[in-house]
Structure 1
């Protein structure tokens, strides 16, 4: 497996784990207040990541620009994303929450085009179109078939839209630090900032909250959210972003709604229709197109290096012949 293809796989895995966080969030808000659930998640992640970073790499020296970028990432992709997502899941279903995240690839690609100057290749454009079409097919389930919806789906879905915007900004900002800071360093700092941002609101909720009544399943979900979703998914995402343009990473986020729909059916008993399956097939095709492009790019790079080496050898041979000819004159 090529390096760039491996990066694509890491992003797909990261977004699949992120999709599982939608289901976990739906279950968590039934047992915890929103800010407390988010605080416990990122506090746990920070407590795990900080000693790991100190042991493996040491804490990085950050300049003012990097501190601002990481703080903005924590604000957009951790604080705002978690608030909007968790509040949204109180009023809408996990399946609809996953469906709405389908706009993320388009939002990321557009932001990358305007802010980073990244060009959209034909493969990327085709992947974006397929992702949007696939998730719109999934959306037909809610309009052409009878499915159970949330208590206030419009309000809930608007919150999810806010979460999508926050995640898109998070991904774009990630490109600014991916080249110098390690995935572990970024994940640690962002988690610390996230825990700090949530703490005053979580403390206020904790003053009137009964921890004794929380079931074991909810505590296990906090552990899963803090370790797997926050730690492992963050690291995978940043490792992938080191080699993948933000616009292409945006297309691969189509794995998120697929993961959400499948896991919602398994753990929340929310139904899957033919429209869901058709949408999933379209998004998987989009991911294949992006992966196919990575193989083509790698092959071109290998061929270019081979041509350069051959050209260098020929040039060296010609120089030696010229040298021999020059010696014959004396």
Structure 2
């Protein structure tokens, strides 16, 4: 039962995370990268702190220095660097394409699970990794006759792939942290408290670079749509998604998490076409299907 609930939590977490590309599109170019992240994290903390005040105090008292360092690394990779690369990349590539490219996350997470966590790899998992890589190459045009890498979008696409690598590092660190915390705390860690701590650390990391983006002047010039996007980014993409993530990763292994992280590109692609009206050609859909196939192959043994 724990395994099933863990998978449901992961589906919710990555589906919510997939909306980050869409929410970011409404504020990219209107606000600075670090301003967007800082404001969304502020909204996340405003939402979280009333819900977890007692749990947070207890968690901080029990938390070891090692747990704190792991949470700090998760904040750096999963929020600060991930959003930095994602928001920069969206300046140069479309939301649908960016969403699909985050589909590299399952393959990178699977590789890290093998190398860092020393989890064994089967033929199905290897096939899933190859499907994901092939899907990304098709999106880039490498495997399509008569087409090559798009010079116009290559920089943005590489930034999105860097974001996917940061997300994978976060996934791996979270799994290590979940195992270590269970041993150190002698009781289940609170997903609410973990989310609040990670959000607070990431907010502190964003404050200095955000100050150089003239945030007050830029925030004064945005409208209700942009504020709604920032609120969504904070409450749903950050707070609720991370609560679901921490609830799921303590119940599931790294390969299962890698499989379900494929929900990010699927959600992003569908919303980019439905909400933003972006067109997706056969090349993107074919690449997206391979990425999703890779998601299922990687996680087959854990399902």
* TM-score, normalisation: structure 1: 0.78
The within-5 A match list for 1:12-91 is 12-56=11-55, 58-60=57-59, 61=61, 62-91=63-92
Change (3 A) 1:192 1:79: same
Distance 2:12 2:274 in 1: 18
Change (3 A) 1:210 1:138: closer
* C-alpha deviation, 1:267, in angstroms: 2.1
* C-alpha deviation, 1:208, in angstroms: 6.3
* C-alpha deviation, 1:194, in angstroms: 0.6
Match of 1:195 in 2: 203
Distance 1:142 1:217 in 2: 39
For the pair shown, the structure with the greater C-alpha radius of gyration is: 1
Match of 1:260 in 2: 268
Distance 1:127 1:142 in 2: 18
Deviations 1:121-161, CA, capped at 9 Å, x for gaps: 34433443444444545555996799xx89x4222122212
Match of 1:155 in 2: 155
* C-alpha deviation, 1:70, in angstroms: 0.8
Report which stretch shifted further, 236-245 or 82-91: 236-245
Match of 2:249 in 1: 241
Which one has a larger percent helix, Structure 1 or Structure 2? 1
| Unaligned ranges ≥5, structure 1 | 296-330
* C-alpha deviation, 1:78, in angstroms: 1.0
Deviations 1:74-126, CA, capped at 9 Å, x for gaps: 11111111111101111111122123222211211111111111112344334
Tell me if the contact between 2:7 and 2:252 (Cα under 8 Å) persists in the aligned partners: yes
Distance 2:155 2:221 in 1: 29
The within-5 A match list for 1:69-218 is 69-140=70-141, 152-179=152-179, 180=182, 181-206=189-214, 209-218=217-226
The within-5 A match list for 1:217-296 is 217-288=225-296, 293-294=301-302
Distance 1:77 1:165 in 2: 10
* C-alpha deviation, 1:279, in angstroms: 4.2
Distance 1:86 1:27 in 2: 11
* C-alpha deviation, 1:205, in angstroms: 2.1
Change (3 A) 1:157 1:138: closer
Task: Give the total of aligned pairs.
Answer: 291
Tell me if the contact between 2:107 and 2:128 (Cα under 8 Å) persists in the aligned partners: no
For the aligned residue pairs, the C-alpha RMSD in angstroms reads 2.7
Distance 2:216 2:197 in 1: 30
Distance 1:52 1:101 in 2: 31
Name the SS for the 1:116 alignment partner.
Answer: coil
Name the SS for the 1:178 alignment partner.
Answer: helix
Name the SS for the 2:90 alignment partner.
Answer: helix
Distance 2:215 2:141 in 1: 43
Asked if residue 10 in structure 1 is aligned to residue 9 in structure 2, the reply is yes
Distance 2:56 2:216 in 1: 40
Tell me if the contact between 2:89 and 2:157 (Cα under 8 Å) persists in the aligned partners: yes
Report which stretch shifted further, 49-58 or 195-204: 49-58
Tell me if the contact between 1:106 and 1:128 (Cα under 8 Å) persists in the aligned partners: yes
Distance 1:155 1:131 in 2: 20
* C-alpha deviation, 1:224, in angstroms: 0.4
